[in-house]
Amino acid sequence: MNLNEWIFIGLFFALGWALPATPIVLGKILAPKRPNQVKQQTYECGVEMVGSPWTQFRAQYYIFALVFLVFDVELVFLFPWALAYNQLGLFALFEMTVFIFLLVVALVYTWRKGALRWS
Amino acid sequence: MELTAESIVFLIMSAITLGGGLLVVSARNLFHAGLYLMVSLLGVAGLFVLLSAPFLAGVQVVVYIGAIAILIILAIMLTPSVTQLPAIFNRQWAFNLALAAFFFVLLVSVVSPIMGELGVDAWNADFTQKNPADVPADSIVNLGKDLVDPDKYMLPFEVASVLLMAALIGAVLLVSPDKAKADEGGED
């Protein structure tokens, strides 16, 4: 495995950790600590917090995530197919059309059932 | 094991995978356990890169971290109480330990004969010392061809689409709008 091609991704990985970690660590070291009850509240755009954030969320979030997952997995199948497209015949196009059609059926069903509408 | 650049990356990625997994099972907060799962999966993506499988590494990040871990976290958020689990060990810990040990033995017994066939000494092997020529550069193109080849994986490919459709329709049926309204909790 030629790792040299991946050095840039490694650099981004390291930088991605370092950039948020540096101010957090610096803040811990440099900032004076005189906490009081108001200061220690969770900051949420200046809105006063009401109750605990650890409440039960509604099941609709799950549907959105699931729709996303289904089309994410479709992408995994589409990608190798698209790379090999030049070397494939008409039948492969037909197969992919069937594949996508079935997923569109599922999407239309979800849509018609109103599961995508935020109620 | 000689300390080459590859083996250092391998050690880091293994540490991320195992450390993340350990944090998943020891976290008192289920939500945090879900986040640690993402760390563990990221380590697995790094291991795929080391195995010259960049496509699988991409799939690992896009599907497992980007979608499945998010789905798990959202499922956790649907449960009424996710914080302050009373104990790290639940009542089934002995059964789970036996199950994990079983799968470990199964994996080792499946993989070690393959390594024996390849003439690899499992305990002292440098897994990263693989000739790049062993992996064809157009392996993803070959995967694309095989997926739609009627003699190879055409049927599983189309069945996958039916499975995805069934998953989506089943979930919509379970969480129909009237039902969601009934158990509407505090949100936003």
pLDDT one-digit tens code per residue, A72-119: 888 888 888 888 888 877 888 888 888 889 888 888 888 888 777 776
Rounded Cα distance between B169 and A60, Å, is: 14
Chain A environment of B140 (Cβ under 8 Å): 79-80, 83-84
CATH (domain of B26): 1.20.120.1200
Question: Which CA distances in Å does B69 have to A45, B98, B170?
Answer: 27, 25, 20
Minimal CA separation from A45 to chain B, in Å: 14
Question: Would you list the domain boundaries of chain A?
Answer: 3-40, 60-112
User: Of A40, A35, A104, which Cα lies nearest the Cα of A71?
Assistant: A104
What's the average model confidence in pLDDT over A43-71? 79
Task: Of B6, B128, B4, give the one whose Cα is nearest residue A7.
Answer: B6
- DSSP 8-state class, residue B66: I
Place of tokens 């917090």: A49
Distances (CA, A) of B159 to A69, A98, B175: 17, 11, 24
Confidence grade of residue B20 (pLDDT, cut at 50, 70, 90):
very high
Average pLDDT over all residues of chain A:
83
Q: How far apart are the first and last CA of chain A?
A: 51
Residues B122 and B101 in one domain: yes
Smallest Cβ–Cβ distance between B165 and the set A63, A65, A103 belongs to A103
Handedness of CA A52, A57, A58, A64 (dihedral sign): positive
Asked if B113 and B145 sit in the same domain, the reply is no
pLDDT-derived band at B188, boundaries 50, 70, 90: very low
Q: How far is B1 from chain A (nearest CA, A)?
A: 17
Q: Which of B83, B164, B185 sits opposite A103 (nearest CB)?
A: B164
The answer to whether B148 contacts A65, with C-beta atoms less than 8 Å apart, is no
Contacts with B63 from chain A: Cβ below 8 Å: 69, 72-73, 76
- For residue A114, the tally of other CB atoms under 10 A from its CB is 12
Q: Helices B154-174 and A90-112: crossing angle, nearest 10°?
A: 10
pTM, entire model: 0.75
Q: Which domain holds residue B111?
A: 93-129
Same domain, B64 and B122: no
Q: Do residues B99 and B81 share a domain?
A: no
The minimum CA-CA distance between B98 and chain A, rounded to whole Å, is 32
Interchain contact, B164 vs A51, CB within 8 Å: no
Cβ atoms B84, B78 nearer than 8 A:
no
Report the share of chain B in percent with pLDDT over 90.
18
- Record the tokens describing residue B160, joined without a space: 């996958």
